[in-house]
Amino acid sequence: MNLTAKAIAEILGGIVEGNEQEIITHPGKIEVAQAGAITFLSNSKYESYIYQTKASAVLVSDDFMPTKKVAATLIKVKDVYSAITIFLKFYEQSFHPEQGISSLSFIHRTAQVGDQTTVGDFTSISSEVIIGKQCRIYPQVFIGVGTTIGNNVTIYPGVKIYHACQIGDNCILQANAVIGSDGFGFAPQTDGSYQKIPQVGKVILEDNVEIGANTVIDRATMGATIIRRGTKLDNLIQIAHNVTVGENTVIAAQAGIAGSTRIGNQCQIGGQAGFVGHIEVADGVKVQAQSGVAASIKEEGRKVYGYPALPYQDYLRAYALFRQLPDLEKRIRALEKNEKQKII
């Protein structure tokens, strides 16, 4: 990217103070940015950095008044956070693949690809697939038979979407995510072996869902595994068959949800948290990292921690006692020793 400070100001609806022709090539953090970078200052607590930064331009509030000389060009905007968000989205666009369908991709003759959708090299789109408008499908993606994908969906390299899945509008699937792999279903046999149970359901991602890199969402045995609209899943998460995750829920990396569990709306789940199968978690529940949820949580907004997960304050009290156990053991052994000496 090569834009002048003036061009960026026009994009953001801002005003330039300084060199309008300063060339900006990338964003950077104010404390470490070098020439060519644009950064931002939104909190007066960090104002000292603006007098030291080597960045070429700084986004600041339109009422910012420096107390010292600032070497960088200033771009004054009404709302710094909104402006930097707009700029970062604009910057991100420069890394998207060129529009069009690569001659090195395979698209089955019965598949439908919407207008202004980009398909990258070595991507394979199977029969009866329907893809909406303005999607970006990166190289080496596989899309299975009968899958439907909405509008403005971004699918990064290496994603695998098995057959008959449904992806809503404005979804983002990060690299190597797997959507629709078989659920973990096996029937024990009398000889001690296991017979695979066919997994004939599907996965549904509603609108505005983001799936992190290397996350796996298994298809339902029957019916659907569902990720409701607005939900965001981090990297390396396992969602088992027939799970439902509610709207606008966020789940951090390495969490695992066992089969047929239902997670409510607007829940917040920390990294490495685990959920047993066939339970329900109410709306607004917050689960601390590395917690193990072994039973349904029916109270909305409940905060839980630990394994098995307890109400947050109960866990902290229990942990305070747990930390004292080594000292208590020493005291008990000392008392026992004294009692034995008295008997002797």
Q: Distance of CA 117 to CAs 21, 98, 103, 120, Å?
A: 35, 10, 14, 10
Hey, what are 174's tokens?
Answer: 């990060």
151 φ/ψ angles, rounded to the nearest 5 degrees: -90, 150
Asked if 175 and 155 count as a contact pair (C-beta separation under 8 A), the reply is no
The verdict on whether 241 is a catalytic residue reads: yes
- Pick the catalytic residue: 96, 108, 163, 241? 241
- How far apart are alpha carbons 283 and 297 in whole angstroms? 9
27 φ/ψ angles, rounded to the nearest 5 degrees: -85, 160
Question: Would you put residue 135 in left (φ > 0), alpha (ψ -120 to 50) or beta?
Answer: beta
Identify the burial level of 122 via C-beta atoms within 10 angstroms of its C-beta, where 0-12 means exposed, 13-18 middle and 19 or more buried: middle
Hey, what are 42's tokens?
Answer: 């939104």
- How far apart are alpha carbons 309 and 37 in whole angstroms? 46
The neighbour count for residue 136, using CB atoms within 10 Å, is: 19
- How far apart are alpha carbons 196 and 329 in whole angstroms? 50
Asked if 185 and 167 count as a contact pair (C-beta separation under 8 A), the reply is no
- How far apart are alpha carbons 110 and 66 in whole angstroms? 62
Cα Rg for the chain, rounded, in angstroms? 27
- How far apart are alpha carbons 84 and 95 in whole angstroms? 17
- How far apart are alpha carbons 209 and 245 in whole angstroms? 11
Hey, what are 37's tokens?
Answer: 């970078």
Asked if 296 and 305 count as a contact pair (C-beta separation under 8 A), the reply is no
Q: Which residues are catalytic?
A: 241
